Amino acid sequence: MATTAGAEFDKIFNWDGVGTSSGDYTDVTLEAQSPAGTSFTLLNSSAHYIYLGNASKFDMAIFDVDTAGSLGALTWQYRTSSDTWETFVPASGRYQLDPDDDEGGQYDFSQDGAELFPPNILSDWATLTVNSANLYWVRVTAASVATAPTIKRIQMRPYAAYCTTKDVYELLQLKNVLSGTDFTTSTVPAKATVEQYIMEAQSHIDMQSRKSWRPNYVANEYQQFNLNGFHLDKPDAYKILDLQIWNGANWDSKRQGRTKDFFLVPDTGMVQFSRYFLLPARFTSYNAPVWRWGGGEFTMPVKVTYLYGRDIQTDVRQGGIIQDIAKKLAAIDVARNADFGGLVVSGMDRMDIGSRISSWKEEIADALDGMKAFEVF
C-alpha cells in the first residue's frame, strides 16, 4: 500500500501582498493537487504569502518540493473570529531544544517536509472569504527570499480524517430532530465539538489497532547503524523526508534513491542503503588497539524524519471498517453529551439511545479485535 495518506486542500493561493482583487491572487490549487507533480513556484518575494485553505479544519500541511528554496525566517498566521491574522509558531518549531544541534526547527521549504498546526495552537480559528472562497485559512510569508522554492504537491491532514461530522449526523439521523444536514456552529453539540469527538475516536482506533489511516509525522527517529538496513519504528511508512548519519563532526544528510544513498522499500517500513557507508572507528581500550563500530558518540548514529499511515480511501480491505468504527465512536459521545429526546431512528423502528449505544459498542469491539495488528518476530 505504497500510497500517500494525505488529503487535498480545497484552495491554495499565492498572494502578491498588495491588493485583494482576484488578479492579486494566483490560484495553484490544481497544480498542488496533481499526483503527477506539476511544479509551481511560491514565495517569489518577501511580500508574497502562501494561502492554504480548506472547508474543514486541518492540523498538518505536507510539502513535496521540486527544487529547494532558500528563505529567511517564516511567519505563519491563521484567521481568528476577531477578524485578525494571528501569528503563531507551528508545532515543529516548538520541538527545537537546541538550535545548534539541528534537532528540529520550523520547516523551511529546503526539502520535502511537513508543518503541524495542533488545535491548541489555533484555538480561535474562524473562516474567512479570500478570493471568493470562504474557508479556514493558514498563510505563511518569508522575511527574505534568496531562492523561491518550486513545489510539486501540497496535501493536508483534516481534523476529522476517518469520517466527517456529516457522517455522524446521518448515523444518528438527526435530521429528524434538528434542521439541516450537518452539525454547525449553532447546533448542540457544535460542529467543533463533534470534530473533537472524531479526533478522540481516531486516536483510540490507532492505539487499539497499532495502525493509522492518516498522515503522521515522525521527527528525528534514531536508529542503530546497519549495513543491511533497518526497520522504521512506525508501520506503514510511505515517505522519508530526511535521513542523516553522524560522521563524527556533524549530521550528514543522505540522498534518497536506489542509485543514490538509501531507499524505502514500499509496504515494509524497511530502509535499505544503496551504497556502503563506514562509520569512523573508535578506540574502546587504552591497553590494546581494539576498534569498534558504533560505540560512544556513534551509538544510534542514524536520524530519520518520515511520514507514515495508510490511505483510508484506497485501503479497500479496512478503510470502510475504520470509517464505520470512527463514526460510531463519535456518535456515542454525541449521544451521551446531548439530549435528543432519548430516541434515534433505526429503519422503521425506534430504539432508545441506551440500546443503540450498547449495540454500537459491541460492533466496535468486534471490529477492533479484527483490526489489531498481527506482528511476526
* pLDDT tens per residue, range 105-156: 678 999 999 999 988 889 899 999 999 999 999 999 999 999 999 999 999 9
pLDDT tens digits for 147-198? Answer: 999 999 999 999 999 999 999 999 988 877 777 899 998 898 999 999 999 9
pLDDT tens digits for 47-93? Answer: 999 999 999 999 999 999 999 999 999 999 999 999 999 999 998 64
- The sign of the dihedral angle between the CA atoms of 134, 135, 138, 139 is negative
Banded pLDDT at 102 (limits 50, 70, 90): low
Banded pLDDT at 95 (limits 50, 70, 90): very low
Q: What is the pLDDT of residue 171?
A: 92
- Which residues, 6 or more positions from 305, have their beta carbon under 8 angstroms from its beta carbon? 113, 217, 218, 219, 220, 221, 240, 241, 242, 243
Q: Which DSSP category does 361 fall into? A: H
Q: Coil, helix or strand for 93?
A: helix
The cell for 313 is: 480511501
- Cell 508545532, located at residue: 91
Across 34-38, average pLDDT: 78
CA distance 265 to 253: 19
- The sign of the dihedral angle between the CA atoms of 52, 54, 59, 61 is negative
Q: What is the pLDDT of residue 233?
A: 95
CA distance 363 to 43: 49
Q: What is the pLDDT of residue 194?
A: 95
Higher pLDDT, 96 or 350: 350
Q: What is the pLDDT of residue 38?
A: 81
- Which residues, 6 or more positions from 103, have their beta carbon under 8 angstroms from its beta carbon? 95, 96, 97, 220
- Cell 499565492, located at residue: 14
The residues with which 41 forms a beta bridge, in sequence order, are 150
Q: What is the pLDDT of residue 349?
A: 54
- Cell 518575494, located at residue: 45
Question: Cα torsion at 359, 364, 369, 373 (round to 10°)?
Answer: 170
State the pTM of this model. 0.85
Banded pLDDT at 340 (limits 50, 70, 90): low
Least confident of 198-202, 215-219, 286-290: 286-290
3-state helix, strand, coil in the chain (%, to 5): 25, 35, 45
Give me the percent of the chain exceeding a pLDDT of 70.
85
CA distance 220 to 96: 11
CA distance 91 to 217: 11
Q: What is the pLDDT of residue 351?
A: 64
Q: What is the pLDDT of residue 198?
A: 97
Cβ(306)–Cβ(215) below 8 Å: no
Q: Give the CA count within 13 Å in the CB-facing half-sphere of 272.
A: 9
Least confident of 148-162, 298-312, 334-348, 357-371: 334-348
Q: What is the pLDDT of residue 228?
A: 87
CA distance 309 to 198: 17
Give me the percent of the chain exceeding a pLDDT of 90.
64
Does residue 303 register a pLDDT over 70? Answer: yes
Averaged pLDDT score across all residues of the chain: 86
Does residue 341 register a pLDDT over 60? Answer: no
Q: What is the pLDDT of residue 87?
A: 96
Cβ(27)–Cβ(4) below 8 Å: no
Higher pLDDT, 291 or 236: 236
Cβ(80)–Cβ(124) below 8 Å: yes
The cell for 35 is: 499526483
Q: What is the pLDDT of residue 285?
A: 45
- For 64, 150, 253, the CA distances from 28, given in Å and listed in that order, are 14, 12, 30
Q: What is the pLDDT of residue 293?
A: 53
CA distance 45 to 57: 28
Residue spans of alpha helices (H) in the chain: 29-33, 91-94, 165-172, 191-209, 319-337, 353-371
Domains and CATH numbers, the chain: 7-158 (2.60.120.260), 165-212+312-371 (no CATH), 217-308 (no CATH)
CA distance 221 to 105: 15
Q: What is the pLDDT of residue 279?
A: 63
CA 116 to chain centre: 7
CA neighbor of 312 nearest in space, from 158, 168, 150: 158
Q: How many CB atoms lie within 10 A of CB 296?
A: 9
CA distance 55 to 135: 5
